[in-house]
């Protein structure tokens, strides 16, 4: 499913911000990437989406080598990898339905979609996704009038409508209230198992990783410092991961403003 | 320990003096002196003085007197068998409106295409840089000059007016549209790219919903400006209200000039109001 070999990522000519020797993620895994700020969590995720090209090494996602595959193969892989952002990144002014239909843009007829025509299948898939995230009653409401938690649900619906094999979530709950955070992560877990997808998410709070992930990868200073089942994530491990950076381990209940 | 020393020397009753104050004051003073110098220079160059203004006053009064009352006849009489100015004005209003509507629409259509290509977040440097320069060049030609050139090239009538308005709007709107597209949230653009959307789909779904209202608002405002300007284009031979003002002025028929001026003002005021309310609803 995902295979990283000897990758090094750097922005500009600086020091690498991410250096991973070898990392494999199998289909159906639910992985949380944790670590202090600046450890390279988001970079790793953006690498898997192809938004960031590593300086050296190989990134293989869904059997496609993102570095050397031809553009068409990359585009096909791109379509099967959905990404969810901390800031939702919905299209303001468009409705829940229209935002969800945006997830179909890679599947649907390109020219007809420009006129706003989507096929019956697109509409069926989008509607199923909206029902799945529990927003059926707000289907025609404008996305920017929803609460943060609801907006992230729309983002999940858009990802589901994409029919992805891999779902990436970059700090999906960092801008949400704690109660919404658990809600959204629960939804992500349900969606993942329902669609037999793989889920890779970065999380700020180790406690959430323990609760919602099967496997946890701990990054520190751009390197994999820990990798194991979520159940084995002990406080000792967290101490080595975060070191003196204790302020990064925000107690879950106080994280409303994080 | 420098910080504690600094803190302890702070007064408790008044804030510390603002170190940049003297420099800001000097700056304002310099600006005031420069502005005044520029105004004096302009007054000397244009020979404007209170005495010249005072002496011009009676002439102005006499001119206004000759224009009064405006010729508001609708029917032709035996003394004046040709069409009265009010009738001509009605037809001219239609032509002026048509010129600005069509010109704005043509210009906006071109500006939409060029604006997309001139937005620095949408196209590579070698596309948007030259386009921005091109739009600036187009904008730098005053509309009356454009009309003069088109009249010389294709003759009198409404067509040169339409073309002048269209070209001028292209330059103006192209820049405004491009700027509007550049302010759109890049996160949404990236997110839709992540769903597999192509460039056009991203333009349609990530950019357009964010920019549409402002695009319409700019276009409406441009239409209003075009209407004002196309009324003046008559001076160089473009059909419409301005042409009749110029014709009557040359014939020293000042009451008819007054009619045309009043009709022009009413038209502009009406469109001004309509556009004002339409743009407010777009907010």
Which residues on B lie below 8 Å from A81 (Cβ)? 194
Among candidates A94, A98, A158 on the partner chain, residue whose Cβ is nearest the Cβ of B195? A158
Nearest CA in chain B to A142: B209
Least confident of A152-166, B1-15, B77-91, B102-116: B1-15
Determine the distance in angstroms separating the CA of B196 from the nearest CA of chain A, rounded to an integer.
Answer: 4
Q: What is the 3-state secondary structure (H, E, C) of chain A?
A: CEEEEEEEECCCCCCCCEEEEEEEECCCCEEEEECCCCCCHHHHHHHHHCCCCCCEEEEEECCEECCCCCHHHHHHHHHHEEEECCCCCCCCCCEHHHHHHHCCCCCCCHHHHHCCCCCHHHHHHHHHHHHHCCCHHHCCCEHHHCCHHHHHHHHHHHHHHCCCCEEEEECCCCCCCHHHHHHHHHHHHHHHHHCCCEEEEECCCHHHHHHHCCEEEEEECCEEEEEEEHHHCCHHHHHHHHCCCHHHCCCHHHHHHC
Q: How far apart are CA B275 and CA B11, in angstroms?
A: 57
According to the model, what pLDDT value does residue A245 have? Answer: 57
Contacts of B201 in chain A (CB under 8 A): 105, 110, 113-114
Interface test with B, best of A74, A89, A103, A112 (most B CBs within 10 A): A89
In the structure, what pLDDT confidence band is assigned to residue B141 with cuts at 50, 70 and 90?
A: very high
Taking phi over 0 as left and psi of -120 to 50 as alpha, with beta for the rest, A30 belongs to: beta
**Do A105 and B197 make contact, defined as CB atoms within 8 angstroms?**
yes
Return the residue in A49, A51, A90, A105 with the most chain B beta carbons within 10 A, the one to mutate for interface testing. Answer: A105
For residue A234, give how far its alpha carbon lies from the nearest alpha carbon of chain B (Å).
Answer: 35
Specify the pLDDT at position A251.
52
Rounded (10°) angle between helices B254-282 and B208-232: 170
Residue-by-residue pLDDT tens, chain A, 258 positions: 899 989 899 888 888 899 999 999 999 999 999 998 888 899 999 999 988 888 888 899 998 888 776 788 888 888 899 999 999 999 999 999 999 999 999 999 888 999 989 999 999 999 999 999 999 999 999 999 999 999 999 999 999 999 999 999 999 999 898 888 999 999 999 999 999 999 999 998 889 999 999 999 999 989 999 999 998 888 888 888 887 655 555 554 444 443
B195·A90 Cβ contact <8 A: no
Distant-in-sequence, close-in-space partners of A124: CB < 8 Å, separation ≥ 6: none
> Do residue A106 and residue B196 have CB atoms under 8 angstroms apart?
yes
Considering only residues 108 to 147 of chain A, which have any Cβ-Cβ distance to chain B shorter than 8 Å?
A: 110, 113-114
Distances in Å between the alpha carbon of A132 and those of A137, A169, B258, B283? 12, 18, 70, 34
Mean pLDDT value across residues B44-50: 84
CA distance B52 to chain A (A): 59
Using a 10 angstrom Cβ sphere, with 0-12 exposed, 13-18 middle and 19 or more buried, the burial of residue B282 is: middle
A73 touches chain B (CB under 8 A): no
Averaged pLDDT, B114-132: 95
B93-113: string of b/e by CB count within 10 Å (b at 16+)?
bebbbbbbbbbbbbbbebbbe
Out of A249-258, B145-154, B189-198, least confident range:
A249-258
ipTM of the complex: 0.85
Average pLDDT estimate for B171-194: 94
- What was the pLDDT predicted at B159? 93
Distance, first Cα to last Cα, chain A: 32
CB contact under 8 A, A102 and B197: yes
pLDDT at B30 over 60: yes
CB A66 within 8 A of CB A81: no
Q: Which has more pLDDT, B232 or A140?
A: A140
Cβ-based contacts of B185 with chain A (< 8 Å) = 89, 92
Confidence of residue B49 (pLDDT cuts 50, 70, 90): confident
d(CA B283, CA B281): 5
Nearest Cα neighbor of A92 from A34, A151, A47 is A151
Least confident of A51-60, B103-112, B213-222: A51-60
Q: Which token pair is A39?
A: 């450890």
Confidence grade of residue B60 (pLDDT, cut at 50, 70, 90): confident
Q: How many CB atoms lie within 10 A of CB B281?
A: 8
Using the beta-carbon criterion (under 8 Å), do A114 and B190 form an inter-chain contact? no
- Is the pLDDT score of B227 beyond 90? yes
| pLDDT above 80 (res B176) | yes
The mean pLDDT value of chain B amounts to 90
């Amino acid at each position: 499913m995902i295979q990283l070999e000897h990758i090094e990522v750097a922005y500009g000519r600086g020091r690498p911000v991410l250096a991973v020797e070898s990392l494999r993620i199998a289909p159906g895994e639910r992985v949380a990437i944790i670590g202090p700020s600046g450890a390279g969590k988001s970079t790793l995720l953006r690498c898997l989406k192809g938004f960031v090209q590593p300086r050296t090494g190989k990134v293989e996602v869904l059997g496609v080598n993102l570095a050397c595959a031809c553009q068409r193969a990359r585009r096909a892989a791109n379509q099967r990898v959905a990404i969810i952002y901390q800031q939702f990144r919905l299209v303001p002014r468009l409705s829940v339905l229209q935002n969800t239909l945006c997830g179909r843009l890679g599947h649907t007829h390109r020219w007809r979609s420009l006129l706003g025509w989507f096929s019956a299948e697109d509409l069926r898939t989008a509607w199923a996704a909206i029902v799945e995230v529990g927003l059926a009653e707000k289907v025609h409401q404008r996305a920017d009038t929803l609460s943060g938690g609801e907006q992230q649900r729309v983002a999940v619906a858009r990802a589901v409508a994409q029919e992805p094999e891999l779902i990436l979530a970059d700090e999906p709950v960092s801008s949400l209230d704690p109660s919404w955070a658990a809600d959204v992560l629960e939804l992500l877990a349900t969606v993942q198992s329902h669609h037999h997808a793989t889920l890779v998410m970065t999380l700020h709070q180790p406690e959430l990783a323990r609760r919602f992930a099967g496997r946890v990868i701990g990054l520190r200073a751009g390197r994999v410092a820990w990798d194991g089942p979520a159940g084995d994530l002990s406080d000792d491990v967290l101490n080595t991961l975060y070191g003196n950076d204790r302020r990064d381990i925000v107690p879950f209940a106080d994280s409303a403003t994080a | 320990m420098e910080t504690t020393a600094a803190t302890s020397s702070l007064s408790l009753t008044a804030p510390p003096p603002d170190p940049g104050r003297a420099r800001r004051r000097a700056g304002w003073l310099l600006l005031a002196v420069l502005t005044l110098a520029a105004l004096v220079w302009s007054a000397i160059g244009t020979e404007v003085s209170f005495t010249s203004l005072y002496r011009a006053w009676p002439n102005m009064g006499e001119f206004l007197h000759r224009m009064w009352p405006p010729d508001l006849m609708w029917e032709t009489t035996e003394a004046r068998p040709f069409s009265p100015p009010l009738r001509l004005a009605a037809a001219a209003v239609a032509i002026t409106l048509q010129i600005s509507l069509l010109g704005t629409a043509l210009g906006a259509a071109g500006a939409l295409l060029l604006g997309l290509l001139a937005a620095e977040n949408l196209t590579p440097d070698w596309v948007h840089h030259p386009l921005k320069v091109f739009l600036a060049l187009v904008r730098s030609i005053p509309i009356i000059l454009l009309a003069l050139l088109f009249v010389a090239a294709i003759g009198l009538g409404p067509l040169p007016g339409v073309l002048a308005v269209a070209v001028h709007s292209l330059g103006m709107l192209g820049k405004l549209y491009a700027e509007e597209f550049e302010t759109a949230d890049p996160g949404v653009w990236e997110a839709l790219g992540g769903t597999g959307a192509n460039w056009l789909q991203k333009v349609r779904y990530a950019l357009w919903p964010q920019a549409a209202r402002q695009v319409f608002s700019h276009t409406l405002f441009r239409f209003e400006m075009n209407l004002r300007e196309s009324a003046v284009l008559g001076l160089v031979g473009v059909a419409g209200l301005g042409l009749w003002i110029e014709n009557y002025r040359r014939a020293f028929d000042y009451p008819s000039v007054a009619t045309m001026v009043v009709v022009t003002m009413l038209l502009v005021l009406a469109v001004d109001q309509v556009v004002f309310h339409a743009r407010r609803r777009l907010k």
